[in-house]
């Protein structure tokens, strides 16, 4: 027997797959759902109980976790005909949203879910990628009522190395946009730096170690720069999702009258990359726009 809460997981893709594996390995009973039946089957092989709908996930769980690709996908998962809310009264249960979603929509959905079902809401977007999801070393930025944060605290500790409560519902999504400014612009900066290093004839592979102790040292330099050197564009996250987040960031910053010139330029680069048909590649593929050897 276990005193751990039953976990329901909606979205079993690049992040959700390793996420649920981590939860099962940590001793949680996990029920999962995804629109893609192949992803459900793969999760089942790792010990996740398959569900036929988001409603079924909610009925089988104490905490429902969502990790989907957009605000619209989340809204449908929660309020669609067979969504979480369709399970009915759920006072004491909590929805944890690991997706990156629009701040105002997040607030509205949280209020509606509590009003219709009594269910709590914690917006808890993540940073770190699939590897960190699988190893339990994600950085999680959270927004929600203190009681809800306390209720999911042990779960969040099991899947992250950093779990920070920033304020009420929506605050986690604002913090995620700050994270995205720092991370997504870095893709373009690393690509520009690599293009210069290679054009200058130096051994670019030495750059991460050489700069590690200086101000330029960063996790992105250590993890993404070698992938760019190897032209390894296998997705740990999709270029199309990066563009979605940059557009979301632009809208939020405009609403707050905060100028974001660097992020706007990075968005232009990723818009071009996506227009060239590379939306399913990793963000490291932005190098293609700087690479004289790349004609596509």
pLDDT, tens digit, 9 for 90 and up, residues 95-130 = 999 999 999 999 999 999 999 999 999 999 999 999
- pLDDT at 3 (0 to 100): 86
C-alpha 103/C-alpha 175 separation (Å) is 10
The H or E element spanning position 264 is: helix 261-275
The H or E element spanning position 30 is: strand 30-33
C-alpha 116/C-alpha 83 separation (Å) is 13
Instruction: Write down the residue that tokens 């100028």 correspond to.
Output: 259
Domains and CATH numbers, the chain: 7-167 (3.40.50.720), 174-289 (1.10.1040.10)
Q: What is the DSSP string of 125-181?
A: -EESHHHHHHHT-EEEEEES-HHHHHHHHHHHHHHEEEEEEEESTTHHHHHHHHHHH
- pLDDT at 6 (0 to 100): 98
Beta-bridged to residue 9, according to DSSP, are 32, 65
Beta-bridged to residue 141, according to DSSP, are 164
Backbone angles phi, psi at 274, to 5 degrees: -65, -40
pLDDT, tens digit, 9 for 90 and up, residues 208-249 = 999 999 999 999 999 999 999 999 999 999 999 999 999 999
- pLDDT at 24 (0 to 100): 97
Separation of CA 36 from chain center = 18
C-alpha 253/C-alpha 177 separation (Å) is 9
Full-prediction pTM beyond 0.85?
Answer: yes
pLDDT, tens digit, 9 for 90 and up, residues 186-196 = 999 999 999 99
Beta-bridged to residue 167, according to DSSP, are 143
- pLDDT at 117 (0 to 100): 97
Assess whether pLDDT exceeds 80 at residue 293. Answer: no
**Short-list 119, 290, 65, CA closest to 191:** 290
- pLDDT at 1 (0 to 100): 41
pLDDT, tens digit, 9 for 90 and up, residues 37-65 = 999 999 999 999 999 999 999 999 999 99
Q: If you average pLDDT over residues 14-34, what whole number do you get?
A: 97
């Amino acid at each position: 027997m276990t005193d751990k809460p039953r976990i329901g997981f909606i979205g079993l893709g690049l992040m959700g797959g390793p996420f649920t594996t981590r939860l099962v390995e940590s001793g949680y009973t996990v029920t999962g759902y995804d629109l893609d039946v192949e992803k459900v089957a793969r999760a089942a092989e790792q010990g996740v109980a398959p569900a036929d709908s988001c409603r079924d996930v909610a009925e089988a769980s104490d905490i429902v976790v969502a990790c989907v690709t957009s605000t619209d996908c989340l809204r449908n998962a929660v309020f669609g005909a067979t969504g979480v809310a369709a399970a009915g009264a759920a006072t004491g249960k909590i929805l944890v949203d690991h997706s990156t979603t629009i701040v105002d929509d997040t607030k509205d959905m949280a209020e509606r879910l509590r009003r219709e079902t009594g269910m709590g809401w914690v917006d808890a977007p993540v940073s770190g990628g699939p590897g960190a999801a699988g190893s339990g070393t994600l950085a999680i930025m959270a927004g929600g009522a203190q009681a809800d944060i306390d209720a999911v605290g042990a779960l969040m500790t099991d899947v992250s190395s950093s779990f920070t409560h920033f304020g009420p519902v929506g605050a986690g999504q604002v913090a995620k946009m700050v994270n995205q400014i720092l991370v997504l612009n870095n893709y373009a900066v690393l690509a520009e730096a690599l293009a210069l290093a290679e054009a200058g004839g130096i051994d670019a592979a030495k750059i991460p170690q050489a700069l590690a102790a200086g101000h330029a040292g960063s996790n992105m330099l250590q993890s993404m720069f070698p992938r760019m050197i190897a032209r390894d564009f296998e997705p740990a996250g999709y270029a199309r999702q990066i563009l979605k987040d940059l557009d979301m960031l632009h809208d939020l910053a405009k609403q707050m009258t905060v100028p974001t010139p660097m992020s706007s330029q990075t968005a232009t680069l990723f818009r071009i990359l996506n227009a060239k048909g590379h939306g399913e590649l990793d963000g490291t593929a932005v190098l293609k726009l700087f690479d004289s050897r790349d004609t596509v």
